[in-house]
């Protein structure tokens, strides 16, 4: 009887915004620090996450899954040198010596003070521990900034195919299946990588709309070739100021280097031909208001992409808040302000709250706004994802207060919370369909939360560290020339 295959799984998951205020420390990761197998299984079994995918794939294939360290935190500013040192040391130490192969769950756009390409350093360190012969397969977010250094020490990379990201579970299953086939000696993956020389804002990467849809369809056609194991279209993360930031492509074949190189060049060329379609139009707050009041159906989604929590923003920008708080339109908005959330909890339900809200991260995201309102509800902010984005995953807004101020309902949270699942507002007794305007601090991923109830959307031109206007940012490290920052 053959011995049961043993697969390790570990990961450090963070999207780093080089332009965001503040830094990311070890304490941010400690809140989701999992270094025990039973905790990994208890937390992620039955969830539509990358971790849940590895668990289910191992079960179906009768694989012994040996989890090492897994930790993640909400996208934010630069990861400190001490933090990344501790993280990588802990991850490498946690990987079992008894495994036949390894899955690494990474983002692809993590940046630290000491390593601009953190994922490349992770796989480099892991490879030194496990040796050159152990198969390693990596899963990545669609917004990964991939590099030749990253693929150097891995056998296969499997990136998300969707934005909003609703296929993390499926891609983890795909990655695990590829790893199993490698361990059994049935395939010999060879990767080819190519940069597009393009930097594109997240708002243009929605995978069910052109131009990104065209690239994903082409990738899907390539994957119909039985010799091609995976095609990854990495849209890139333009807010990481590193050498290899931008859209890139990875094609993995079963032993056919020429096919991999040919296919990846075809994808890159197609992206270049589509480059002028990766454009995005935003409007002023007044233009958004004028358009909104002409619409007959509600709610209308106001997309504040410059304060995109899922892109590392502080979630306390006040440009939209100050505009709407005196508006005649019934509106709903979430603002992160830990001081005010605590104050509301001290005051209690039914009390009046008078405070300066938001605008406490830096001047770019606006000044604090004076708010007078009634505290309707208080909560610990814990909820569970029930929609298409990582169903079953736990969410934590921290201390949360629902405050009614004029025609506005403001959800004040202790933690930054991206609007990925509608249950983050339903869990605190809010019916989002009762509002004329819903403000989301996101780029595209809000569609997994409010997409089904939206009767229209408008994208706002406001300042912030996730602005879609990439000409606004002062890039120091990115490889130049690059489109659209430079004439090419």
Q: Which residues does 43 contact at the CB level (< 8 Å), separation at least 6? A: 34, 51, 394
Q: Kindly report the pTM of this predicted structure.
A: 0.95
Taking the C-alpha atoms of residue 277 and residue 13, their distance in angstroms, rounded to an integer, is 30
**How confident is the model at residue 136, as a pLDDT?**
99
Q: Which CATH superfamily is domain 6-277 in?
A: Response regulator (3.40.50.2300)
Q: Say if residues 365 and 467 touch (Cβ distance below 8 Å).
A: no
For 32-56, the pLDDT digits (tens) are 999 999 999 999 999 999 999 999 9
Mean per-residue pLDDT, 132-146: 99
Q: Say if residues 306 and 467 touch (Cβ distance below 8 Å).
A: yes
Pick from 338, 295, 335, 340: nearest CA to 437: 295
CA 27 centroid distance within chain: 20
- pLDDT of residue 15 exceeding 60: yes
Q: Say if residues 285 and 459 touch (Cβ distance below 8 Å).
A: no
**What residues pair up with 370 in beta bridges, in sequence order?**
356
Taking the C-alpha atoms of residue 42 and residue 156, their distance in angstroms, rounded to an integer, is 28
- Assigned token pair, 53: 């995918």
Average pLDDT, the chain: 97
For 445-472, the pLDDT digits (tens) are 999 999 999 999 999 999 999 999 999 9
Neighbours of 2 (CB within 10 A): 5
For 54-77, the pLDDT digits (tens) are 999 999 999 999 999 999 999 999
Mean per-residue pLDDT, 377-401: 93
For 205-248, the pLDDT digits (tens) are 999 999 999 999 999 999 999 999 999 999 999 999 999 999 99
Mean per-residue pLDDT, 403-422: 97
**How confident is the model at residue 101, as a pLDDT?**
98
**How confident is the model at residue 2, as a pLDDT?**
64
For 281-299, the pLDDT digits (tens) are 899 999 999 999 999 999 9
pLDDT-derived band of residue 391, with 50, 70 and 90 as boundaries?
A: confident
Taking the C-alpha atoms of residue 216 and residue 142, their distance in angstroms, rounded to an integer, is 11
185: left (phi over 0), alpha (psi -120 to 50) or beta: left
**How confident is the model at residue 389, as a pLDDT?**
82
Per-domain residue ranges of the chain: 6-277, 285-467
Instruction: Indicate the pairing of strand 23-24 with strand 78-79.
Output: parallel
What is the signed CA dihedral for 169, 173, 174, 178, rounded to 10 degrees? Answer: 150
Q: Identify the top-confidence range among 27-36, 274-283, 334-343.
A: 334-343
Q: Say if residues 332 and 437 touch (Cβ distance below 8 Å).
A: yes
Taking the C-alpha atoms of residue 443 and residue 168, their distance in angstroms, rounded to an integer, is 19
Residue 259, phi then psi, degrees to nearest 5: -65, -40
């Amino acid at each position: 009887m053959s011995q049961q295959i043993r697969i390790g799984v570990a990961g450090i998951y963070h999207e780093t915004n080089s332009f965001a205020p503040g830094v990311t420390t070890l304490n941010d990761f400690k809140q989701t620090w999992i270094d025990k197998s039973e905790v990994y299984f208890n937390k992620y079994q039955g969830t539509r996450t990358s971790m849940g995918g590895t668990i289910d794939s191992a079960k179906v294939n009768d694989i012994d899954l040996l989890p090492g360290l897994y930790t993640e935190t909400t996208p934010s500013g630069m990861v400190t040198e001490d933090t990344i040192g501790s993280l990588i040391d802990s991850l490498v130490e946690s990987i079992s010596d008894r495994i036949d192969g390894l899955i690494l769950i990474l983002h692809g756009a993590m940046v630290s003070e000491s390593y601009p390409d953190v994922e490349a350093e992770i796989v480099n360190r892991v490879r030194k521990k496990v040796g050159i012969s152990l198969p390693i397969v990596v899963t990545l977010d669609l917004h990964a900034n991939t590099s030749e250094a990253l693929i150097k020490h891995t056998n296969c990379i499997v990136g998300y195919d969707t934005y909003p990201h609703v296929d993390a579970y499926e891609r983890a299953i795909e990655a695990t299946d590829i790893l199993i086939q490698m361990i059994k000696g049935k395939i010999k993956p060879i990767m080819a990588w190519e940069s597009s020389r393009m930097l594109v804002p997240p708002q243009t990467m929605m995978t069910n709309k052109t131009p990104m849809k065209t690239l994903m369809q082409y990738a899907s056609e390539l994957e119909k070739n039985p010799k091609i194991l995976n095609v990854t279209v990495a849209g890139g993360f333009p807010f990481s100021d590193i050498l290899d930031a931008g859209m890139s492509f990875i094609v993995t074949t079963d032993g056919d280097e020429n096919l991999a190189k040919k296919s990846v060049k075809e994808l890159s060329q197609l992206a270049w031909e589509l480059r002028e379609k990766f454009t995005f139009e935003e409007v002023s707050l007044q233009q958004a208001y004028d358009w909104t009041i002409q619409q007959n159906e509600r709610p209308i989604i106001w997309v504040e992409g410059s304060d995109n929590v899922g892109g590392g923003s502080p979630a306390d920008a006040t440009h939209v808040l100050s505009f709407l708080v005196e508006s005649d339109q019934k509106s709903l908005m979430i603002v992160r302000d830990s001081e005010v959330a605590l104050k509301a909890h001290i005051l209690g339900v039914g009390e009046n709250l008078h405070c300066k809200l938001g605008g406490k991260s830096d001047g770019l995201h606006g000044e604090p706004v004076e708010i007078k309102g009634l505290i309707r509800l208080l909560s610990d902010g814990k909820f569970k994802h029930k929609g298409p984005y990582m169903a079953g995953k736990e969410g934590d807004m921290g201390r949360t207060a629902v405050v009614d101020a004029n025609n506005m309902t403001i959800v004040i949270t202790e933690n930054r919370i991206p609007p990925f699942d509608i249950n983050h507002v339903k869990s605190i007794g809010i019916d989002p369909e009762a509002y004329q305007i819903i403000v989301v601090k996101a780029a595209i991923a809000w569609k997994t939360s409010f997409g089904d109830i939206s009767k229209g959307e408008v994208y706002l031109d406001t300042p912030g560290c996730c602005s879609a206007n990439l000409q606004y940012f002062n890039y120091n490290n990115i490889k130049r020339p690059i489109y659209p920052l430079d004439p090419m």
